[in-house]
Amino acid sequence: MTDKFVHLHLHSEYSLLDGYTRISKLFEKIRELGMDSVAITDHGSMFGVIDFYKEAKKYGVKPIIGCEVYTAPRGRFQKDPVKDKNMGHLVLLAKSNKGYNNLIKIVSKGYIDGFYYKPRIDIEVLEKYNEDIICLSACLAGDINRKILDGDYNGAKKLALRLNNIFGKDNFYLEIQDHGLQEQKKLNRNILKLSKETKIPLVATNDVHYLNKEDHTAHDILLCIQTGKTLNDEKRMKFPSSEFYLKSYDEMKSLFPYASEAIDNTIKIADMCNVTFDFHQMHLPGFDVPDDCSPNKYLRKHCYEGLKRRYSIITEDIKKRLEYELKTIEEMGYVDYFLIVWDFIKYAKDNGILVGPGRGSCGGSIVAYTLDITDIDPIKYNLIFERFLNPERVTMPDIDIDFEDERRQEVIDYVIEKYGKEKVAQIITFGTMAARGAIRDVGRAINMSYAEVDKIAKQIPNQLGITIEKAMEFNPKFKEIYQRDDNAKYLIDVAMSLEGMPRHASTHAAGVVISKKAVDEYVPLYLHDNNITTQFNMTLLEELGLLKMDFLGLRNLTVIKDAIKLIKYNRGINIDLEKIPFDDPEVYKLISSGKTLGIFQLESSGMRQFIKELKPQCLEDIIAGISLFRPGPMESIPKYIKNKNNPGEIAYLHPKLESILKVTYGCLVYQEQVMQVVRELGGYSYGRSDLVRRAMSKKKMDVMEKERQYFINGKVDEEGNIEIAGCVRNGVDEKKANIIFDDMIDFAKYAFNKSHAASYAVLAYQTAYLKCYYPVEFMAALMTSVMGNASKVAQYINDCKRMNIDILPPSINESYAKFTVNGDKIRFGMVAIKNVGMGIINSIVRERKKRKFTSFVDFCERVETRELNKRAVESMIKSGVFDELDVTRAGLLASYERIIEGVQQDRRRNIEGQVSLFNTYEDTLPDAIKNDILPDVKEFPHKYLLSFEKEMLGIYLSGHPLSEYEDLINKISSVNSNDLKEMGDSDSKQMLRDGQRVIIPGIVIKKQDKTTKNNNLMAFITLEDMFGSLEVIVFPAVYDRCMELLFEDSIIIVVGKINFKEDEDPKIIAENIISLTEENVNMILSTNNSKPEKPKKIYLRLKNRNNDIMNKIKEILRRKRGKTPVYLYIESEKRKLLANKDLWIQIDKSIIKELKEVLGDNSIRIC
């Protein structure tokens, strides 16, 4: 007898919203229980097997790779809603790598062929892929078990024998479980009987869904989140006991005293299972080259051809750089990789698909530049190849490509066609329970009120990567709620236990994998929204040696492409992007003005403000601006701008730093600069410098401290050879070297990849160039790109008005699908009209080529019958498409259905031959159509015409209902809808905060009444202003007081508070609603307690940058930290600077008094 037991039936967190067993915690528990092996058997998928394997190896535990598959008793292709909704289970375990490959095939078939509610397989699949797989009969839901419970013992026996025959002797086991359920005890008696009769061995398992017995409540909440139910719902799905945890050997042995062999068999099975993974062994597809050429020669040929094209003068340094890169690529085995990328980019460019100038660290490669993979000269911009690829890098390099978004799929289709459908797949990604999301999910599940949950969730800063634990450190109020309120503590504790768990699987927006053999020879496949994806994410695919790339669709490339087409059509000018000068002062003047709406990377409100202060004068400035304007580096902005304006005052800790940091005015901005510093001062190789850069960015403290010693004092091997010279040996003072290293550590976690920023700076400049010299064409293309986003269209139309560009309404004789250019005006595109599709637009354009439409009847007679649907025509009438035909919209709406019916009726008569030889065509038409007469109906009032435009175009085009109120609105409004929308951008939140009181006038365009639990009425209204729309929540107390104003087209003033909710647009919680009149505006302005709470700022005026005064100010500010932004106005420089966030304050009398004592009474202003 053995005193050991192995768990062979276990669900990790990758049994999504069902498994509560975290892989990261599993193996500590396994070791604690004295076990040396364990299996993973997630429901229907293998999402977690690689993480499971790696973690097991870390703990010295044997990993057993498996899956609890769903079965389709009638066959995987049968998908009847009644007969096939219920499915069985089987547990499959891989004995070897061959068994693992078969398991991959089985699980993939479940998704690709058998998905119906769940991924299902059948006997046919098992018969084909049974080699080296162990099968267990599973839980109560197993096919054999169900037959027994349904009274069909003979059927169960027959199936058991068939499965035993499929998998072979000692590879099929009858599973017994005991979770304290009477049903299982009854089943187990029959299973024992079946085992004796068939000689099929038994195996004991526990259906593990959580680690510890006390975890059952958290698991129950997880099930509630999965099903959208609450704990107090008696009819919800729940586990019948709290026994589904990781039990000890003693606990398992005590459950089955009558079947000790079932315990022993777990050891036997574990001994048979031996799957291993080879990481970082590449499985790149080969690239077909001409017979007389090797891949290496073929790559060199194209690189040298590109070198001549790219450089008018080829220096020795350029040749050396190319040779060095080629040698590295050849030695590391990536020649085929580069040829594959070159080939599909060549296909794209040959077929007129616009490709981005580059993305990521690939911009640092001259090989990529000569192959036209990128359009950034790495020599000119001092970009480092080793940031992209070096011999000391274990992982594959990343070459991610931007394509114009409308044609991205064409490139993917080309790759599928070239390499084979079975060798190309998209890539999975997992949405996880983030901090705020976990709080809200758990709150709903335990039925806590929305208000309570919302209050707790909002204590967590809306920051990328924030955790609940970190939020408590940052926010003392959050910690106080946790410690004071028992209900809140329970909610937060459960949320913390779920935080970070995968919540759902979806398709990565851009990731594509290309493999040497069929993808399911290496990884299991998944089906999401009819897209076949891998079951492993990008990182794991890379570790497994598969080639993965991002094929990104970039809207801005489509904007550039469309703008160039419009320029050619409108002006007869051919724009060659490669010939655009990057030193045009007019372009930099436009960028520096901050009028950068629509300009790539430079259009958010915060960036527009920053770019005005930065005043870029060259592409390097834009590269730096893009890199700096992010959380973290933003703190360096004041120093960067100061140094840029005063280069003579820049001080370097060591002369060698000047050549590295001069381009960024003495500031560390790029990851590449960290690499250059450790190379130039410490004597590192570029490969090793990249390892240091990675360690710093990932905060690997042990690695950093070791590297600090090497950086300062160098490294000598056992034979006395100097591997790293070190700063001291290179003449750098040890104290200064430590300061420099500390600076790099502080900065590296936020540092940006210069190659990536350079690529995006090129796109920013290109869009700015087009806006500067061809604003009409650029804005038309820009608005076409956002036709589905009415608020963006409205924002860009306002920008057009600022530039004195008129927007013409949609026209039956002038409009095309997209926005087009008409001289110096822009014509609205018909595809932006609701319910109007490409079919009718194409028919209109085809007919218009013959001759223009002369009347509405002419239009109806000439447009193809199948496209002439009443819904589309009504939408066109309402949006003003036919206004130029001297007909009223009112007249057309009164008669269009009759006219269309008459025309269609006549067409049917012609087809059926019912027109007499002696009748003319016109005799068959109704009189109103024959005479082209429409009823004399007076046109609708202007406000109705505007509402039609809003309904059909998403915006008001020929005017705005609020135009006549514009002076009042400007007088009273403290914020507009666009300001609130941009609060979703991290750079905008500094000026507006959750709970801030605001006043916003607008027109009600939608109202939805709701009844509360207490049977009181409340409402959700959509309020529109001149910039867009937003949602206003009107709770019962305000609703009762203001209900007579809550109707569509009501023009009102809303006084309320901003309400943030994660992943949603900000809303306003109404405190008061009144009609928009001059009297009410004056009343609000004269009432102190009703005044809008404008975003507060404090301005401090200083004569110059006196260090003593600056230090005193900092000392005062740091004593009263808060959320009020602090601006410094330096008189000598005539500059306004925003202080770092750690100097923002909480305003009170004491701090104002202290500041006045230092600066004087007239040097402080609060607004």
**Distance, C-alpha 1031 to centroid of its chain:** 24
Residue 900 — pLDDT band, cuts 50, 70, 90? confident
Q: Give pLDDT tens digits for 233-289.
A: 888 888 999 999 999 999 999 999 999 999 999 999 999 999 999 888 889 898 999
Instruction: Residue 468: name the closest of 460, 477, 476 by CA.
Output: 460
The residue-averaged pLDDT of 724-753 equals 88
In angstroms, rounded to a whole number, what is the distance separating the alpha carbons of residues 605 and 17?
Answer: 39
Asked if 534 contacts 525 with a C-beta cutoff of 8 angstroms, the reply is yes
Residue 812 — pLDDT band, cuts 50, 70, 90? very high
Name the pairing type of β-strands 424-432 and 502-514. Answer: antiparallel
Asked if 875 contacts 841 with a C-beta cutoff of 8 angstroms, the reply is no
**Distance, C-alpha 416 to centroid of its chain:** 25
Q: Give pLDDT tens digits for 615-638.
A: 999 999 999 999 998 877 777 888
Q: Which domains does the chain have, with CATH numbers?
A: 23-209+246-272 (3.20.20.140), 295-429+507-555 (no CATH), 575-630+752-773 (1.10.150.700), 649-751 (no CATH), 786-953 (1.10.150), 963-1090 (2.40.50.140), 1098-1166 (no CATH)
Of 524-533, 824-833, 985-994, 1074-1083, minimum mean pLDDT range: 985-994
pLDDT at 151 over 80: yes
pLDDT at 984 over 70: no
At 996 the pLDDT is 84
461 against 97, higher pLDDT = 97
The residue-averaged pLDDT of 311-323 equals 95
Residue 136 — pLDDT band, cuts 50, 70, 90? very high
Instruction: Residue 489: name the closest of 498, 499, 479 by CA.
Output: 479
Q: Give pLDDT tens digits for 224-246.
A: 999 999 998 888 888 999 999 99
Phi and psi angles of residue 176, each rounded to the nearest 5 degrees, phi first = -115, 140
982 against 29, higher pLDDT = 29
pLDDT at 535 over 90: yes
Asked if 885 contacts 812 with a C-beta cutoff of 8 angstroms, the reply is yes
pLDDT at 990 over 70: no
In angstroms, rounded to a whole number, what is the distance separating the alpha carbons of residues 719 and 249?
Answer: 53
SS (H, E, C) 610-669: HHHHHCCCCHHHHHHHHHHCCCCHHHHHHHHHHHHHCHHHCCCCCHHHHHHHHHHCCCCC
The residue-averaged pLDDT of 940-959 equals 87
pLDDT at 1153 over 90: no
Q: Which two tokens stand for residue 312?
A: 């008018």
- Write down the H helix ranges in 774-822: 775-785, 790-802
Burial of 12 (0-12, 13-18, 19+ CB in 10 A): buried
Mean pLDDT, the chain, rounded, equals 88
In angstroms, rounded to a whole number, what is the distance separating the alpha carbons of residues 120 and 142?
Answer: 13
Asked if 515 contacts 547 with a C-beta cutoff of 8 angstroms, the reply is yes
424 against 749, higher pLDDT = 424
Q: Give pLDDT tens digits for 1100-1149.
A: 888 777 777 887 888 888 777 776 788 887 776 666 777 877 788 877 66
At 1103 the pLDDT is 77
At 866 the pLDDT is 77
Q: Give pLDDT tens digits for 638-694.
A: 888 889 988 888 999 999 999 999 999 998 888 888 889 999 999 998 888 888 888
At 991 the pLDDT is 54
Cβ neighbours for 876, distance < 8 A, ≥ 6 positions apart: 810, 812, 830, 833, 836, 882
At 934 the pLDDT is 67
At 918 the pLDDT is 38
For residue 1151, how many other CB atoms are within 10 A of its CB?
19
Burial 164-178 (b: 16+ CB within 10 A, else e): bebbeeebbbbbbbb
Q: Give pLDDT tens digits for 348-360.
A: 999 999 999 999 8
Q: Give pLDDT tens digits for 748-800.
A: 767 788 999 999 999 999 999 999 999 999 999 999 999 888 878 888 988 89
Dihedral over Cα of 1039, 1045, 1049, 1055: its sign? negative
At 926 the pLDDT is 52
pLDDT at 1019 over 70: yes
Residue 985 — pLDDT band, cuts 50, 70, 90? very low
Q: Which two tokens stand for residue 785?
A: 């790109």
120 against 1137, higher pLDDT = 120
At 701 the pLDDT is 79
pLDDT at 168 over 80: yes
Asked if 1158 contacts 1101 with a C-beta cutoff of 8 angstroms, the reply is no
Q: Give pLDDT tens digits for 1020-1064.
A: 999 988 877 889 999 999 998 888 899 888 999 999 998 877 667
Name the pairing type of β-strands 1051-1059 and 1028-1034. Answer: unpaired
Asked if 1126 contacts 1063 with a C-beta cutoff of 8 angstroms, the reply is no
In angstroms, rounded to a whole number, what is the distance separating the alpha carbons of residues 387 and 678?
Answer: 13
Instruction: Residue 607: name the closest of 622, 617, 620 by CA.
Output: 622
Listed in order, strand segments (DSSP E) in 880-973 are: none
Residue 987 — pLDDT band, cuts 50, 70, 90? very low
Give 692-696's long-range contacts (Cβ < 8 A, gap of 24+).
Answer: 693/387, 693/748, 693/751, 696/744, 696/745, 696/748, 696/749
> What's 522's DSSP letter?
T
In angstroms, rounded to a whole number, what is the distance separating the alpha carbons of residues 547 and 281?
Answer: 11
pLDDT at 427 over 90: yes
Residue 294 — pLDDT band, cuts 50, 70, 90? very high
Of 126-130, 180-184, 864-868, 1155-1159, minimum mean pLDDT range: 864-868
Residue 966 — pLDDT band, cuts 50, 70, 90? confident
Q: Give pLDDT tens digits for 59-101.
A: 999 999 999 999 998 888 988 888 888 889 999 999 999 999 9
Of 12-26, 388-402, 1090-1104, minimum mean pLDDT range: 1090-1104
Task: Please state, for a pLDDT cut of 70, what percent of the chain lies above it.
Answer: 94
